[in-house]
């Protein structure tokens, strides 16, 4: 039977069947049939990035906020290579991103014949960064390949997956697969530990008197059980990427104050008799390359078997879904856990003192977290780039209520915050998105500002402008005897830049006006910009761990 339904139509319908409503990317010679199908169906919003790098970060930010699949379309060869940085960050952050790229015609692929965008081992390039990389080899296996790719991206530990669709196959006419009528991704069920495993876990936990819960990205769905453990007397800390699994204004949630460089926290760890690590790598970035000494009685829960002992040694490991495992644990220990007298109050005091000590090191910028929290909507998305402000108060003491408000470069790459924020804003619905970036990071991908303009996104972009790479200068102070080579920047005037597209612009020149100025920007529907003139406010002081005196 004749049909006008093509592989391109199949890709577009498959994405809709997976619940995808927004995708990102750039139209190119090697994806026109795919994007033509999306345009004709008119059920998916296509957001035009200015570069594949930005588009990949947008798909990542979208996935983190929507808690679904993020999708980036790129061209072949150079276009796919341009997306690498964004896919690397998605892998680091555990974001389910589906990268769909083209390929030269099947008769020319892998033969180095010099076709347009002809890539050398594109699958190998993508496979080195993503969880997996696949090529559609025929029109008949397109749905199977797409399904496998999406399942892999959404399975723990989640991450990006790349699919090549050769340009000739994109145009092939096929019968529409009837399975798409009621399509459901065949996602594997999360592993629930056996009763024996849960019994052993419970026995070890109820033996504790001063327990600590350490949560990461893999535990974001376990907030209910985590809150019950806090009710039982646990204290809590999180990775930067696992923040707000329990609202961070809870008196015993230290959030991102993991203790790196802070004796008040690391000394407290010495009297903790159980550290329950859930869905978290306890990575070097947040432990000063594992210099933070954690309690010896460490128990680890993770869906990934490879997490077992990957960083810190453990005394017991449970391979299982964080929510299912903690739910099973809670049901076994309710009424049985007896924390030491005074431990609950000690932990609450630890949080108050640690936050106060940390904020006191920030000089003029110590009030910024409180000022912003006072004016920013509670449900707003908090997206950031790598800056001194984010490395300090943005990641560690600015309180958040839910995990999907938290969007930042987990791999600590510069220049990603604006694009991550754009993707986040696309998934935010009626919620506001606030992006904080430094001038160095902002100008690295400044072209994506016009993606936000074109898409009429409701977001405030705060640029902390110290006219250089402030984080690099701080590291140079600590490791290169203060020699600050190649860290100063000459940049365009931000007010004039905003004026080019009639973006409402505000400037902060005094620390005590930060909150009020941001409030004015927040009151405007649409894209606004706030520049914080850090040369006027004052140089950002040394922060943990760079403010510590070397051991004698």
In order of start, what are the domains of the chain with their CATH numbers?
Answer: 7-182 (3.40.50.970), 195-354 (3.40.50.1220), 361-537 (3.40.50.970)
Phi, psi of 132, rounded to the nearest 5 degrees? -160, 160
Alpha helices in 393-530 (DSSP H): 395-396, 417-427, 439-444, 449-454, 470-479, 494-499, 514-522
pLDDT-based confidence at residue 551 (cuts at 50, 70, 90): very low
For 13, 74, 147, 179, 522, the CA distances from 136, given in Å and listed in that order, are 16, 16, 11, 19, 46
Please provide the distance, in angstroms rounded to a whole number, between the alpha carbons at the two ends of the chain: 83
What is the model's pLDDT at position 2? 62
Q: How large is the average pLDDT for residues 311-317? A: 97
User: What value does the mean pLDDT take over residues 357-361?
Assistant: 95
CA–CA gap between residue 412 and residue 461 (Å, rounded): 19
Write the pLDDT tens digit of every residue in 262-293: 999 999 999 999 999 999 999 998 998 999 99
Is the pLDDT at 123 greater than 50, yes or no? yes
- Please report the pLDDT score of residue 475 as a whole number: 85
120, with CB counted inside 10 A (0-12, 13-18, 19+), is exposed
SS3 readout for 300-342: EEECCHHHCCCCCCCCEEEECCHHHHHHHHHHHHCCCCCCCCC
What percentage of the chain exceeds 90 in pLDDT? 89
- Percent of the chain exceeding pLDDT 70 equals 98
Q: Quick one: angle between helices 7-17 and 32-41, nearest 10? A: 50
Report the C-alpha gap between 74 and 58 in whole angstroms: 13
pLDDT of residue 548: 67
Q: What pTM was computed for the model?
A: 0.96
User: What confidence tens digit (pLDDT) does each residue in 236-260 have?
Assistant: 999 999 999 999 999 999 999 998 8
């Amino acid at each position: 039977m004749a049909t006008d339904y093509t592989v391109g139509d199949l890709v577009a319908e498959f994405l809709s069947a997976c619940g995808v409503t927004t995708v990102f990317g750039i139209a190119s010679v090697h994806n026109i049939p795919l994007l033509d199908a999306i345009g004709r169906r008119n059920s998916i919003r296509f957001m035009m990035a200015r570069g594949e790098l930005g588009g990949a970060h947008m798909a990542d930010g979208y996935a983190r906020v929507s808690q679904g699949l993020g999708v980036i379309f790129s061209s072949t060869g150079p276009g796919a290579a341009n997306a690498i940085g964004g896919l690397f960050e998605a892998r680091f952050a555990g974001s389910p991103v589906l990268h769909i790229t083209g390929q030269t015609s099947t008769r020319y692929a892998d033969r180095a014949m010099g076709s347009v965008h002809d890539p050398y081992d594109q699958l190998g390039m993508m496979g080195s960064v993503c969880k997996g990389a696949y090529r559609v080899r025929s029109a008949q296996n397109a749905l199977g390949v797409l399904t496998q790719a999406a399942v892999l991206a959404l399975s723990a530990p989640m991450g990006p997956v790349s699919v090549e669709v050769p340009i000739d196959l994109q145009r092939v006419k096929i019968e529409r697969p009837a399975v798409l009528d009621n399509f459901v991704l065949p996602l594997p069920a999360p592993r629930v530990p056996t009763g024996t495993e849960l019994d052993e876990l419970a026995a070890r936990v109820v033996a504790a008197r001063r327990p600590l819960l350490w949560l990461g990205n893999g535990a974001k769905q376990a907030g209910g059980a985590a809150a019950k453990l806090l009710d039982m007397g646990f204290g809590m800390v999180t990775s930067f990427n696992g923040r707000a699994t329990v609202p961070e204004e809870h008196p015993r949630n230290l959030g991102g104050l993991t203790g790196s460089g802070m004796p008040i926290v690391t000394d407290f760890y010495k009297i903790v008799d159980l550290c329950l690590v859930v869905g978290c790598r306890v990575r070097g970035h947040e432990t000063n390359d594992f210099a933070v000494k954690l309690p010896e009685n460490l128990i680890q829960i993770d869906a990934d078997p490879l997490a077992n002992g990957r960083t810190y040694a453990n005394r017991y490991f449970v391979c299982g879904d964080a929510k299912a495992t903690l739910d099973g644990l809670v049901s076994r220990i309710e009424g049985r856990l007896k924390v030491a007298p005074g431990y609950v109050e000690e932990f609450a005091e630890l949080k108050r003192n640690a936050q106060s000590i940390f904020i006191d090191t920030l000089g003029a910028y110590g009030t910024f977290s409180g000022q912003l929290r006072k004016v920013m909507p509670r449900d707003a998305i908090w997206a950031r780039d790598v800056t001194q402000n984010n490395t300090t108060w943005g990641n560690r003491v600015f309180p958040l209520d839910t995990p999907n408000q938290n969007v930042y470069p987990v791999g600590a790459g510069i220049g990603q915050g604006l694009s991550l924020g754009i993707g986040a804003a696309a998934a935010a619905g009626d919620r506001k998105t606030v992006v904080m970036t430094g001038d160095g990071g902002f100008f690295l991908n400044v072209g994506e500002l016009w993606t936000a303009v074109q898409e009429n996104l409701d977001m405030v972009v705060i640029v902390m402008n110290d006219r250089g790479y402030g984080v690099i200068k701080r590291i140079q102070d600590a490791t290169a005897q203060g020699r600050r080579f190649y860290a100063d920047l000459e940049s365009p005037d931000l007010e004039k830049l905003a004026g080019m597209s009639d973006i409402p612009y505000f400037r902060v020149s005094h620390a005590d006006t930060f909150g009020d100025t941001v409030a004015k920007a927040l009151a405007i529907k649409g894209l606004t910009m706030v520049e914080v003139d850090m040369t006027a406010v004052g140089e950002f002081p040394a922060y943990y761990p760079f403010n510590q005196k070397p051991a004698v």
